[in-house]
């Protein structure tokens, strides 16, 4: 029998309105468990509980917050093997990546535990004699958090940790595809000394649980990572209630490879950026923009690298690319491959479904050549292990192509020229820029976010997180 996993509301484990079964994409017979689903009414109850929890947590001492966040981080790091296996089982990324995600989640809690002790306000001089001014930051209130399925723990944590560190209460709705990691995280949080209602877990569908959260006038902020379509809907819902909103949405990242590039380095950067995590990353390099001089060598070596890649069960040793997260995403990938070929692109490698010893959602990573930037596959987010090579004449053409998109999250260049690297950093219309590195992979202590339709609202991570999770108060005093 599968173990049932209840909701967590107001400091209590609560039975949901119904349940779903969570199975591994590596092996559909591997049932991870049954997870309760919150009704709209239970979501509203969680918000009400959070408002009560906030009244206490916002006034808690810094040492209390510091110790709680440090303890959560310590346990995540200590249990990285166990929780990494759980994460990889339900999401499908190779075990090394699953363990790394759990470890990084622990680092996030440690970082924001330290930020608790760095909350130092500012003093300003008044233009009026005898008047003192203090500028301070205070917690917002109740923060709604909606996290995606591709990083079921890390993305949730980089929202939860700063929300709690700055004194807010949380109502957390994870993606319904990956409830196990969220539940395991909640179980750890539930054992810390938080006032009842400070943290709440409401697993459920976007149509019911998510809608109840984003439409609530009782929350003060909502942070979301997911698709552009859903992000726009959330923005419309939250603005109606004047709720502060932070959105991380779609992307169509590009890696430029120029004439003077180290081609071997470019191939590794492209492989890691395009195919790690089965390409299911908002930072994935789905467009590979390569200049004429190195195009043929780059394509030949990248195909050779793909031929050596091991696709398989997420928990099996030596696997570099796991299964696709679910059937809907796999079917979408196959439709994109058919559409790209119909539009004139050449399928240079892979792109086919494969059968393994266990029934799962497996496919060979795909590489397209002879693509143009106006093809649909180079305009819309695909979110799979599919990369497209776009051949251009030179660096200027490459940069123009890179910026010709509605998105602007990450961008990379492989070059040995300091001049080109400096020019690229200045002119790439993205929130994150990488030189001689994959586009996927960011540090946790610096700001993360994009431009154009990739992001909306203040940046995430690092000290920049306080811009979203706090409100500024200016205090005037005449002694």
Task: Please give the positions annotated as active site.
Answer: 248, 282
| Residue 35 · residue 13 · CB < 8 Å | no
Q: Where are the beta strands (DSSP E) in 217-376?
A: 221-225, 244-248, 253-257, 285-291, 346-349, 366-371
Q: Where are the beta strands (DSSP E) in 393-465?
A: 407-408, 410-414, 432-435, 451-452, 455-456
Q: Give the residue from 269, 284, 291, 248 showing the smallest Cα distance to 410.
A: 284
Q: Give the residue from 184, 218, 238, 160 showing the smallest Cα distance to 43.
A: 218
Measured between alpha carbons, how far is residue 27 from residues 23, 91, 149, 323, 331 in Å? 8, 11, 18, 9, 17
366: alpha, beta or left? (left if phi > 0; alpha if psi -120 to 50)? beta
Per-residue DSSP letter, 431 = S
- CA 345 to CA 369: how far, in whole Å? 6
300: alpha, beta or left? (left if phi > 0; alpha if psi -120 to 50)? alpha
Q: Give the residue from 43, 45, 50 showing the smallest Cα distance to 214.
A: 43
Q: Give the residue from 306, 297, 315 showing the smallest Cα distance to 261.
A: 297
- CA 407 to CA 264: how far, in whole Å? 28
Q: Which residues pair with 171 in a beta bridge?
A: 144, 200
Rg, C-alpha atoms of the chain: 23
Per-residue DSSP letter, 68 = H
- Tally Cβ neighbours within 10 Å of residue 331: 13
Torsion of CA 93, 95, 96, 99, to 10 degrees: 100
| Residue 277 · residue 150 · CB < 8 Å | yes
The full length of the chain comes to 479
Structure tokens at 145: 């958090």
- CA 138 to CA 220: how far, in whole Å? 13
Q: Under DSSP, is residue 174 helix (H, G, I), strand (E, B) or coil? A: coil
Structure tokens at 40: 């709209």
- CA 382 to CA 361: how far, in whole Å? 16
């Amino acid at each position: 029998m599968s173990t049932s996993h209840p909701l967590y509301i107001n400091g209590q484990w609560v039975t949901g309105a119904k349940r779903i079964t969570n199975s591994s994409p590596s092996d559909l017979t591997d049932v991870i468990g049954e997870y309760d689903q919150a009704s709209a009414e239970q979501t509203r109850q969680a918000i009400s509980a959070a408002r009560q929890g906030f009244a206490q947590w916002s006034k808690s001492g810094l040492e209390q917050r510091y110790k709680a966040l440090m303890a959560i981080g310590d346990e995540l790091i200590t249990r990285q093997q166990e929780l990494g296996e759980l994460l990889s089982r339900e999401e499908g990324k190779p075990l090394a990546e699953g363990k790394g995600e759990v470890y990084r989640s622990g680092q996030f809690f440690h970082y924001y535990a330290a930020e608790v002790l760095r909350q130092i306000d500012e003093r300003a001089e008044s233009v009026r004699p005898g008047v003192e001014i203090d500028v301070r930051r205070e917690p917002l209130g109740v923060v709604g958090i909606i996290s995606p399925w591709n990083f079921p723990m890390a993305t949730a944590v980089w929202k939860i940790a700063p929300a709690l560190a700055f004194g807010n209460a949380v109502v957390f709705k994870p993606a319904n595809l990956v409830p196990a990691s969220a539940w395991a995280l909640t179980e750890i949080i539930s054992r810390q000394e938080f006032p009842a209602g400070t943290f709440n877990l409401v697993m459920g569908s976007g149509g019911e649980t998510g809608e109840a959260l984003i439409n609530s006038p009782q929350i003060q902020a909502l942070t979301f990572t997911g698709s552009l379509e859903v992000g726009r809907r959330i923005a419309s819902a939250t603005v109606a209630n004047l709720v502060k909103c932070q959105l991380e949405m779609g992307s169509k990242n590009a890696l430029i490879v120029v004439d003077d590039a180290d081609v071997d380095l470019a191939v590794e950067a492209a492989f890691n950026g395009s195919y790690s995590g089965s390409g299911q990353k908002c930072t994935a390099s789905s467009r590979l923009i390569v200049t004429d001089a190195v195009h043929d060598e780059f394509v030949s070596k990248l195909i050779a690298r793909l031929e050596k890649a091991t696709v398989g069960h997420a928990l099996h040793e030596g696997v570099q690319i796991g299964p696709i997260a679910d059937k809907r995403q796999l079917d979408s990938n196959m439709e994109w491959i058919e559409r790209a070929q119909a539009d004139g692109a050449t399928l240079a490698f892979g792109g086919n479904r494969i059968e393994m010893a266990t029934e799962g959602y497996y496919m060979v990573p795909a590489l397209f050549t002879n693509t143009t930037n106006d093809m649909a596959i180079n305009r819309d987010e695909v979110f799979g292990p599919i990369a497209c090579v776009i051949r251009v004449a030179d660096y200027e053409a490459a940069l123009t192509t890179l910026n010709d998109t509605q998105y602007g999250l990450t961008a990379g260049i492989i070059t040995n020229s300091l001049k080109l690297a400096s020019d690229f950093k200045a002119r790439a219309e993205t929130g994150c820029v990488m030189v001689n590195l994959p586009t996927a992979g960011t540090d946790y202590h610096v700001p993360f976010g994009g431009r154009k339709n990739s992001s909306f609202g203040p940046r995430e991570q690092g000290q920049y997180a306080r811009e979203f999770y706090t409100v500024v108060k200016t205090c005037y005093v005449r002694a």
